[in-house]
Structure formats: structure tokens, C-alpha cells
Amino acid sequence: MSYSNKKIESVAVALKKRLAKAEDKTSILRSAELKSLGAEIPLLKPAERAAFGKELNQLKAELTKLVAEAADDDETLEPIDVTAPMDINAGLPAFLLTENGSRHPLMTELQKISDIFARMGFVTEESRHIDDEYHMFDSLNFPKDHPARDDYDTFMTTEGLIAPAHTSTMQNRYLKKYAPNLKADRPIAVAVPDRVFRNEDLDARHEHTFYQLEGIYVDKGVHAGNLIATLKTFLEEYYQQELEVRTQPFYFPFTEPSFEFAISCPFCAKKGCKVCSHAGWIELLGCGMIHPNVLKMAGIDPSVYTGFAWGMGIDRLVMMKQSIEDVRHFESAKLEFLRQFK
């Protein structure tokens, strides 16, 4: 665009040149030349003012447009990596400040529980959240097609993969891993706290996802008295009081003999209260002496070594300790619930 007024034309040419090089393009719109052109208007003859003012406005409009176009060109966007797992262009997400968050109550209690077992000589190991039929059933001496397999309400994929319904799936693996202890005259002593999954009807006492702690102990001469003493010691330490314990015969394919294990109610000393459903006793876990076939499948000679094992529901233990009335709170991610444990 050219301007008929010579002064305006020469300022236009100069400013357009400067615009091309300027770092701060908008400074052109505030330039001294434009201001002095504006200051000239009142000095002009009245007949010339309108035409001059019009051309000056045209120049300002042209420059404003050029400045806007130049700014658009500057804003070159970084390419987006569409295969990235998160938007790498978005920067880091704003993390919740640690003082605003809190540990999940189950994690806090699991730490305390593992610490107690560590003091009793048990190493803590993890389970896994996807497994196979061998570890869920076969390695645990479940006969093929035995109805006991159905007791576990197991989630299974069409390919036969399994979301473990108990932490006993790890017995075979950890018996094998720690078998060298036996050759070195040390026991196998492993605690496995982790998540398990069952296709349950949900209510205040049943959740599809919950925690168990599996324990295994193997050495020469281990007997059921050791099993009962170990569990009693742990539970008295956890509840910080003396407790009576009770075992009743039960059936698990992977233990012989098998027991159901109960403690006297820590809240009413057997008088009967809401927590123990007025029974005075609370069933806490299944346990027993590891079946010789389970030891054999892990390469351990049952004529030399014996051992015990147990599987304990952690949610129940923690619910009683912390007076939590509904197991579904744990997986709910409800902040009103979680904030009570800060």
C-alpha cells in the first residue's frame, strides 16, 4: 500500500523496513515517527486535515495488521508426538503436595505387619496380579477337575490366565527360590502380602479385590505347635494384647492337616460384641502343615523337611484394628475415608 502524502509515505517505508528486523514488533505501533505524524494534524490547514488524518489511520491499520501477522508466524508450535504415553507438550502434571495426601491405611498397616514378621525372621516378598492355572491350583495339590477349584470364584481369561484368588499361588515359587536355605541349615521363612481377586457378590464384608498375607515356613522338625505359636505371637504383637487362639480342623488341598484359626475377640475378651458378631471368637485365617506333594513339587524332600503355611485376610485384620465398618471403603478412593488416616 502506498500513500499520497509524501511524509506519510516515507514514514510508512521506514517503519515497514524496521518491522522486518524488530524483535519486539509491537514497538513499531508506538514509534516516535507515528506519534509525530499525529502531532502534525492540528498544525495543518483545516482543508488538509481530513485527508492527512485518513491516510495516517490507514497507515496505522496497515502496520497493526503486519505486526499481527508477524506475531502469528513467530508462534511455531512444537510437533506433537502422538505415540507418547502422555502429552509431552503439556509439561509435568501438577502433583498433589505430599502434605495434602496421605498413605492408604492398608499400606500403612501392611508395613507394620511386614515389620513384625521381619522381626520374627521372615523375608517379605511380592505376589503377582496375573498368574496361571499351575500356580493357582496344580502346584498346590488341587486334583484336576476337583470341586475345590470352584470354591475360589476365580477370575479367568479365555486364554486361561488367572487373576490370583489367593496368595498361595506364590508358595511353589518361593519354596523353590529359598530351597538353598535348607542346604545351608537355615529355614525357609517368607511372608507374601499382596492383592488377590475374587468374583464375589459385594457387600460390607466382601470385595472383589482385597489383600492376603501368605506365610510359609520350612525346616527340619517343624510341627503344628510352631505354626500356632508363630501366628499367636504375630497377632498378639499386632493387637498389642494377650489373645487366646483356637484351631478347628478344615480342608485345604495344600495342607495336611489343615485348620481354621480363630482368636478371642480383642474388643470384648470373649464376652460377645458387635465386632465378633457376639461369638467371642473371630475366624482370621486358614493354615496347616504344608502337604508333602507341595514340598515335592518344589523339589523339597518331605521325608527330611516339614513346614507350615497360612493365608490371612489383611482387610479384615485392619478393619478390626481401625474400626472400619465396610470393606468397600478400601478400594473406593473416597477422600472422606482416606483423610481420616492422615
Q: Could you give the 3-state DSSP secondary structure of residue 82? A: coil
Residues 125-184 that bind ligand DAH (CB under 6 A): 166, 168
Query: In the set 34, 286, 314, 320, which binds ligand DAH (CB under 6 A)?
Result: 286
Choosing from 55, 109, 207, 214, the residue that interacts with ligand DAH (CB under 6 A) is: 214
Taking the least distance from each CB to ligand DAH, the nearer of 79 and 249 is: 249
Residue 310 as a binder of ligand DAH (CB under 6 A): the answer is: yes
The region of 44-52, 228-236, 306-314, 322-330 touching ligand DAH under the rule CB under 6 A is: 306-314
Radius of gyration for the chain, computed over Cα atoms and rounded to the nearest angstrom: 38
- Select the span of 33-41, 51-59, 76-84, 284-292 touching ligand DAH (CB under 6 A): 284-292
Of these, 188, 218, 297, 309, which contacts ligand DAH (CB under 6 A)? Answer: 309
Nearest to 78 by CA among 91, 68, 93: 91
How far is the C-alpha of 276 from the C-alpha of 234, rounded, in Å? 20
For Cα atoms 307, 212, 302, give the angle at the middle one, nearest 5 degrees: 15
Query: Hunting for cell 497493526 — which residue is that?
Result: 64
> Do residues 270 and 280 lie in contact, with contact meaning Cβ atoms separated by under 8 Å?
yes
Strands across the sheet with 281-290, in order?
Answer: 123-124, 188-197, 209-219, 306-313, 281-290, 255-264, 245-252
CB of 220 to ligand DAH, least distance (A): 19
From 139, 141, 255, 306, residue interacting with ligand DAH (rule: CB under 6 A)? 255
CB of 260 to ligand DAH, least distance (A): 9
Using CB under 6 A, list all residues that contact ligand DAH. 166, 168, 214, 252, 254-255, 286-288, 309-311
